[in-house]
Amino acid sequence: MTEDMSMVQATGPLLADRVAVVTGGGGGIGAATSRLFAQHGAVVIVADIDTERAHRTADEIGPSALPIVADVRREHDVDSLARTVLDRYGRADVLVNNVGHWVRHPGSFAGTDPHLWDELYQVNLHHVFLVTRAFLPAMVAQRSGAIVNVSSVEGLRGYPEDPVYAAFKAAIIQFTRSLAVQVGGDGVRVNAIGPDVTESLQVPYTQWLTADEQTRWPQWVPVGRMGVPEDQARVILFLASDLSAFVTGHTIPTDGGTGAAGGWFRSSRRPGREWTNRPIDP
């Protein structure tokens, strides 16, 4: 256990006796969130399209985890997921809409296939609507609940590699903001995170970067390192717990400072000039 994780746990169990649903909960950020929630006393439903990942993560957690195989892009699967959870536990206290994927690099927008837009919509936004709708009535009825949506840094800035993906990630942020206002009086809080430069199933930096590139993290990221799934999980835990009882409608950039830096990078080759806005030092 890392020192940072011990510090989080030292505050006591933050989700004791709560029922938490984590979509994409079997791997990457979802798995880290599932494990951390369980460490803080929650019963965790590990919902994942991948049977092996769902069961492996649930087995690692132990009796407080329930693996459910579901494709959250499909309304039938989502309805079945909600019925199973609510029939078994009678409540749902936390929902983490974690599923998302950039699918593939499309090239120029003018040449993209509209079928790709549909794929991006289904995996990045449509499921957020479906899963939230399935669990929200139970939260309203019990007059308590926390929903955490996983957006992206690309929903907060211009993303020239894929404007469509960026549009859906931005839509999550606006959905989060608007739904939070709508259901705040019902005791339900809705927040989001916007990750960047974090190792995940969709963005495996340890596989993508050369040895030389990996030495450049202190130049690329203000905090000086690559993010790991646990970095995201800790912020999700904060938003899911009573530590954030007076926070709703917000998206926290979980980006190691890249957003604050505004696209500027540390430069090691320009005497008297510490920063450059060019990805490769001149």
Tokens standing for residue 13: 């169990």
67-95 burial: b if 16+ Cβ within 10 Å, else e: bbbbbbbeeebbeebbeebbeebebbbbb
Give the active site residue among 89, 159, 165, 205: 165
Q: Is 2 helix (H, G, I), strand (E, B) or coil?
A: coil
Instruction: Reply yes or no on whether 165 is catalytic.
Output: yes
Q: Is 202 helix (H, G, I), strand (E, B) or coil?
A: coil
Q: What is the C-alpha separation between 27 and 32, in angstroms, rounded?
A: 7
- Whose tokens are 């309805």? That residue is 79
Query: Do residues 93 and 74 make contact, with C-beta atoms less than 8 angstroms apart?
Result: no
Closest CA to 20 of 170, 168, 181, 131: 131
Query: Do residues 178 and 128 make contact, with C-beta atoms less than 8 angstroms apart?
Result: no
Query: Do residues 184 and 10 make contact, with C-beta atoms less than 8 angstroms apart?
Result: no
Q: Which residues are catalytic?
A: 165
